[in-house]
Amino acid sequence: MTVSKQTICAVATPSGRGGISIIRVSGSDSSRIAKQIAGHLPPTRYAHYGNFLASSGEIIDSGITLFFPGPDSFTGEDVIELQAHGGPFVVDILLQEILSMGIRLARPGEFSERAFLNDKIDLAQAEAIADLIESNSAEAARFAIRSLQGDFSTLVNALINAIVELRMYVEAAMDFPEEEVDFLGEGDVENRLQQLLTQMDDVLAQARQGTIMKDGLKVVIAGEPNAGKSSLLNVLAGQSRAIVTEIAGTTRDTLKEHISIDGMPLHIIDTAGLHVSEDIIEQEGIRRAWQEIGEADLVLLVIDASKEFDLENFELFTEIQKLIPEPQNLFLVFNKIDLAEASARLEMGNESSPTSIYLSAKKVEGIDLLTTALKTHAGLNTTVEGGFIARRRHLDALEKSRSFLVSALEQLVSSKAGELVAEDLREAHQSLELITGRYTPDDLLGEIFSSFCIGK
């Protein structure tokens, strides 16, 4: 993908009324636009206040003009910014005047795309701009800023450099087979591969947490009617979002709420009580509940602790297990411990059994144990400094690169096949470069930047 030589413009502030609106122009014609609209080109990074003029000489508005010459600008090109009053009609008149001068309206994300193509930022940093704008918690914003500053890219580039050095070593050993020293068998390559995998696992762990910070966990509250699902949603949300009564089956549809626990975004979904029903409306609610369960990152199966319970004979648990085969993605929440005269407690699960939490949503007892379990499940560690935002495609690239490193290690240990080790290292290297954009298909770039807002 090459940088377009056309000068582009767009409104960089949200639509609607406000104190100011900013129109951004980038490209070789920027200085011409400044001279025609503002009457002259202001000194570099000097805020000039004056009138904005139409080609007829009529005053459109008054405001501030800023000039950022390339390559020392966000896009790497000449850029001007016009700060006008924030009335939508005034801004539209000013924008139409600029467009009439032969300037093209920018595509979504085109300013960031030009910054990437002009080597001002890498692809992970470009994506962090959109993630910072769209962040839904203070913690997610903090993670996005670190990615924008290059923290994520630094870790990825360190992995790339280590893989490149090992590739050079392996390929050199293949080029000089007559040497008496067995470069592949002496142990150094194996040790370096092991170190690479350890380094990769550390980055992967941070990336998984960054992905959760960006996208959040989809948590579905499920259970039989009147088990206290809606009460649990209300206490987690901190407000009365769901109707709670003693009548079973109050909730007949899914109810979604976005909350944050220590900066970790959660998409909580309350569902209709799961049981056999002859009511057509209730049947549809139950169908939707099962659909949400199948798409969940984590299911909270709410159980009435005040009633006699046998997990082995609990058909609902068996049915949910079919959709959620991994025990770590299912929590058993024993609610109404106040009626059962039991105490709040947390029993962490393992590879064969789900986590169990005993609480009372009505009395707000044991809720802290649930939030602790949620953070543990997500791998959230708020005591560790650092962290960066990550997207699903970043995680996929890291996992793919790791699989090639594992394959390279297996090839080395089993057969000392230098050619196969070198090929796996090449694939691991190329997978990582998808993250920073050193190697990126044009169609992927188009998909990424088209999701940005116009003017960014």
Domain ranges of the chain: 8-120, 132-212+391-437, 216-378
Q: How confident is the model at residue 442 (pLDDT cuts 50, 70, 90)?
A: low
Q: What is the pLDDT of residue 404?
A: 95
Mapped onto helix, strand or coil, the DSSP state of residue 347 is strand
Q: What is the pLDDT of residue 227?
A: 86
Provide φ and ψ at 105, rounded to 5°: -70, 135
Provide φ and ψ at 277, rounded to 5°: -135, 145
Q: What is the pLDDT of residue 179?
A: 53
Q: What is the pLDDT of residue 184?
A: 61
DSSP state of 137: S
* Mean pLDDT (whole number) for 432-441: 81
Give the C-alpha separation, 296 to 371, whole Å. Answer: 17
Model confidence pLDDT, tens digit, residues 291-300: 888 888 889 9
CB proximity list for 215: less than 8 A, separation 6 or greater: 265, 392
Question: In the block, which residue shows the tokens 């890291």?
Answer: 398
Q: How confident is the model at residue 105 (pLDDT cuts 50, 70, 90)?
A: very high
Q: Output Rg (C-alpha) for the chain, integer angstroms.
A: 29
* Mean pLDDT (whole number) for 123-150: 87
CB proximity list for 315: less than 8 A, separation 6 or greater: none
Interior/surface letters 333-344, b for 16+ CB within 10 angstroms, e for the rest: bbbbbbebebeb
- Say if residues 428 and 159 touch (Cβ distance below 8 Å): no
Q: What is the pLDDT of residue 249?
A: 46
Q: What is the pLDDT of residue 418?
A: 78
Model confidence pLDDT, tens digit, residues 54-98: 988 899 999 999 999 999 999 999 999 999 998 889 999 999 999
- Burial of residue 326 (CB within 10 Å: 0-12, 13-18, 19+) is exposed
8-120 belongs to CATH 3.40.50.1360: no
Question: In the block, which residue shows the tokens 């590879």?
Answer: 351
Q: What is the pLDDT of residue 181?
A: 45
Structure tokens, 453:
């807002």
Q: What is the pLDDT of residue 441?
A: 65
CATH classification (class only), 216-378: alpha beta
- Say if residues 303 and 336 touch (Cβ distance below 8 Å): no
Q: How confident is the model at residue 135 (pLDDT cuts 50, 70, 90)?
A: confident
Consecutive H or E run containing 230 = helix 229-237
* Mean pLDDT (whole number) for 154-182: 78
CATH architecture for the domain at 132-212+391-437: Up-down Bundle (1.20)
* Mean pLDDT (whole number) for 426-450: 80
Q: Is the pLDDT of residue 323 over 70?
A: yes
For the chain, first and last CA: distance in Å?
18
Mapped onto helix, strand or coil, the DSSP state of residue 297 is coil
Q: What is the mean pLDDT of the chain?
A: 84
Structure tokens, 125:
């940093």
Q: Is the pLDDT of residue 158 over 50?
A: yes
Q: What is the pLDDT of residue 115?
A: 93
pLDDT, greater one: 385 or 286: 286
Q: How confident is the model at residue 51 (pLDDT cuts 50, 70, 90)?
A: very high
* Mean pLDDT (whole number) for 28-47: 93
Q: Is the pLDDT of residue 242 over 70?
A: no
Q: How confident is the model at residue 380 (pLDDT cuts 50, 70, 90)?
A: low
pLDDT, greater one: 377 or 22: 22
Q: What is the pLDDT of residue 414?
A: 83
How many other β-carbons are positioned within 10 Å of the β-carbon of residue 91? 24
Q: How confident is the model at residue 331 (pLDDT cuts 50, 70, 90)?
A: very high
Q: What is the pLDDT of residue 419?
A: 84
Cα 96 to Cα 29, 108, 442, distances in angstroms: 16, 18, 31
Q: Is the pLDDT of residue 277 over 80?
A: no
Q: Is the sign of the CA dihedral 190, 192, 193, 197 positive or negative?
A: positive
**Where does 324-366 have alpha helices with state H?**
337-340
Q: What is the pLDDT of residue 247?
A: 40
